[in-house]
Chains A and B, each alone.
Chain A
Amino acid sequence: MGSSNKESSANYLRTFTKGFWSKNAALVLLLGMCPTLAVTTSAFNGLGMGVATTAVLFGSNIIISLIAGLIPKKVRIPAYIVVIATLVTLVDMFMAAYSPELHSELGLFIPLIVVNCIILGRAEAFASKSENNVLQALLDGLGMGLGFALTLFILGAIREILGNGTITVFKYTTTIIIFTISHKETINPIFVFILAPGAFITLGFLLGLKNYIDNLLEN
């Protein structure tokens, strides 16, 4: 009894942590490239998109894990899309009502989450599988989402530092912390990193770096 408990808790931990490295959505599965490339022009935008995706992924994984057994196989994709779109719209409305400042920063990206392949991908590949229970689906959603958020944050930070000479972590206009390090006066930024090609270049280098570390760990 004790050993199986230990085994299952290790299993749960693996379900949570795989999103950060071994099955990272952006760097290994290469899912959700549209938000990865388009919104990571600053560290804050990357983080915001990542956190919003995590919230939706968390909710959709739980709901889909609960209802998956009831849905006929042929209509599962439209059913999942309806669930995800509803969740995204609700998040959008509640954010606009209760946190308008965050909404004004992230409002642009939120509708994009509906078509983010990570969410549908996790619903299809993990949450709807009968061998995974609700708790596993929840942990998977959280881990995958946070891993994605972290990757987007790193990508955004690199692009912002190189392309703009700044790093912005918290960008709330009036209330919370404004933390911007600017070297605009001393460093001439490499402008291309803010533009679309910069996104591809940075992502390529990040992928290469990850594979290099993986190779080192194997040997």
Chain B
Amino acid sequence: MNDTLKMVITLTVITAVAAAALAYGNFVTRDKIKAQAKAKAARAVRQIFPSCQNPVEKKVITPKGKKTSVFLCKGGKKAFVFSSKSAPGISSPYGGTIKLMIGLDNKDIIKGVQVVQQSETPGLGAKLTEKVFLDQFNNLSLQKGGIAVEKDDPAGKIDAISGATITSRSVTSTVKAALLFNSKKLKNLTRTENKKTRKGKRIHRRSKRKNNHIDPSKFKYKKNIQNYKKIRKHIRKKILNTRKRMRRNKAEKDGKPVDIRKKQGGR
């Protein structure tokens, strides 16, 4: 009995110390690892577009419902991360997931492909990171075609890595799926700098008006109480109008007519 207790206590102490050490290690390195991952992505963008010094990062949802990053550069250039698990129908790699950074210009022509993450066989599939293989994708696009492995499709322009056809096929189909995703989802993304333009400002003002509440402190400096009352009345009317409109919209959605005035009772 005493022996058993000693065993339990020893193991508990050891695992507790180990857990504390791991928690401390995680606490120290967590932010650094995140920052490194971000810096790595930014480096991959710069390898594709050397002139793009401060890309704007935006999050988008991939066809499989996961988040991914799009880096927008000046002149309509963009680079985004797309993995072999981002969309259905991509042929799987030999091991794990392949994550690519794909750079496109404003006409959706590939300007560069970089590997962000891979766990292919060293010496065989791991050669997908080599320039000779990745440079084959440059200047291809959906319109031009040819994004297929030569072995599978006579029109394909991608020469597979010898001994790693599965890896090559996976990279190629990932690139193709990424281009399809781009043409469907990434067309209207713009850099945040656009918010500073007039159009952006207007949107901003409108959203403020939607708030519909009145802050008396803002009118303190206005001695004219008449003016204050006028504003109040105006805003009350606006609120009522909005409610009316919302009710109408809802009624349209539900497909049944609603008597607006009746529901408005009490006001």
CB within 8 Å of B: which residues of A? 39, 41-42, 45, 67, 70-72, 74-75, 78-79, 82-83, 85-86, 89-90, 93-94, 96-98, 100, 108, 159-160, 163-164, 191, 194-195
Whether the pair B163, A191 counts as a contact (CB closer than 8 A) is yes
Contact flag A108-B119 (CB < 8 Å), given A72-B6, A96-B36: yes
Interface of chain B residues 136 through 180 with chain A (CB within 8 A) = 163
Residues of A within 8 A of B14 (CB): 67, 71, 79, 82-83
Chain B, Cβ-Cβ closest to A100 = B36
Chain B, Cβ-Cβ closest to A164 = B123
Whether the pair B25, A89 counts as a contact (CB closer than 8 A) is yes
Residues of B within 8 A of A98 (CB): 29, 32
Main secondary structure of the interface of A (DSSP, over half): helix
Whether the pair B10, A71 counts as a contact (CB closer than 8 A) is yes
The 8 closest A-B pairs by CB, nearest first: A41-B123, A97-B32, A97-B29, A86-B18, A41-B122, A100-B36, A194-B123, A93-B29
Chain A proximity of B240: nearest CB distance (Å): 58
How distant is the Cα of A58 from the Cα of B8 in the complex, in angstroms?
27
Pairs across A and B, CB under 8 Å, 20 listed: A39-B122, A41-B122, A41-B124, A42-B122, A42-B123, A45-B123, A67-B14, A74-B3, A75-B7, A79-B10, A79-B11, A82-B14, A93-B26, A94-B25, A96-B33, A96-B36, A100-B40, A159-B123, A164-B123, A194-B124
Chain A, Cβ-Cβ closest to B9 = A72
How distant is the Cα of A176 from the Cα of B108 in the complex, in angstroms?
35
Whether the pair B123, A160 counts as a contact (CB closer than 8 A) is yes
Residue B246 interfacial (CB < 8 Å):
no
Chain B proximity of A168: nearest CB distance (Å): 10
Residue B260 interfacial (CB < 8 Å):
no
How large, as a class, is the contact surface on chain B?
Answer: 20 to 34
How many A-B residue contacts, CB cutoff 8 Å?
A: 70
Residue among A72, A79, A93 making CB contact with B3, cutoff 8 Å: A72
Chain A CB count within 10 A is highest, among B3, B6, B29, for B29
Contact flag A41-B121 (CB < 8 Å), given A75-B11, A94-B25: yes
Taken residue by residue from 1 to 42, chain B's Cβ proximity to chain A (1 for < 8 Å, 0 otherwise) reads as: 001001100110011001001100110110011001000100
Known: A82-B15, A93-B33. 11 other contacts (CB 8 A): A41-B121, A41-B124, A74-B7, A78-B11, A82-B18, A86-B22, A90-B21, A93-B26, A97-B28, A98-B29, A100-B36
Chain A, Cβ-Cβ closest to B129 = A173
How distant is the Cα of A93 from the Cα of B25 in the complex, in angstroms?
7
How distant is the Cα of A219 from the Cα of B36 in the complex, in angstroms?
57
Chain B CB count within 10 A is highest, among A45, A97, A195, for A97
How distant is the Cα of A83 from the Cα of B7 in the complex, in angstroms?
16
Chain B CB count within 10 A is highest, among A89, A90, A194, for A90
Residues of A within 8 A of B3 (CB): 72, 74
Whether the pair A72, B10 counts as a contact (CB closer than 8 A) is yes
Residues of A within 8 A of B6 (CB): 72
Residues of B within 8 A of A67 (CB): 14
Whether the pair B18, A83 counts as a contact (CB closer than 8 A) is yes
How distant is the Cα of A39 from the Cα of B15 in the complex, in angstroms?
31
Taken residue by residue from 102 to 125, chain B's Cβ proximity to chain A (1 for < 8 Å, 0 otherwise) reads as: 000000000000000001011110
Chain B proximity of A58: nearest CB distance (Å): 17
Chain A, Cβ-Cβ closest to B18 = A86
Residues of A within 8 A of B10 (CB): 70-72, 75, 79
Chain B proximity of A34: nearest CB distance (Å): 14
Chain A CB count within 10 A is highest, among B10, B119, B121, B123, for B123
Interface of chain B residues 82 through 134 with chain A (CB within 8 A) = 119, 121-124
Residues of A within 8 A of B11 (CB): 75, 78-79, 82
How distant is the Cα of A164 from the Cα of B122 in the complex, in angstroms?
11
Residues of B within 8 A of A79 (CB): 10-11, 14
How distant is the Cα of A70 from the Cα of B6 in the complex, in angstroms?
10
Chain A, Cβ-Cβ closest to B121 = A41
Chain B, Cβ-Cβ closest to A41 = B123
Chain A CB count within 10 A is highest, among B21, B25, B122, for B122
Chain A, Cβ-Cβ closest to B8 = A75
How distant is the Cα of A6 from the Cα of B86 in the complex, in angstroms?
65
Whether the pair A97, B18 counts as a contact (CB closer than 8 A) is no
How distant is the Cα of A160 from the Cα of B32 in the complex, in angstroms?
35
Residues of B within 8 A of A41 (CB): 121-124
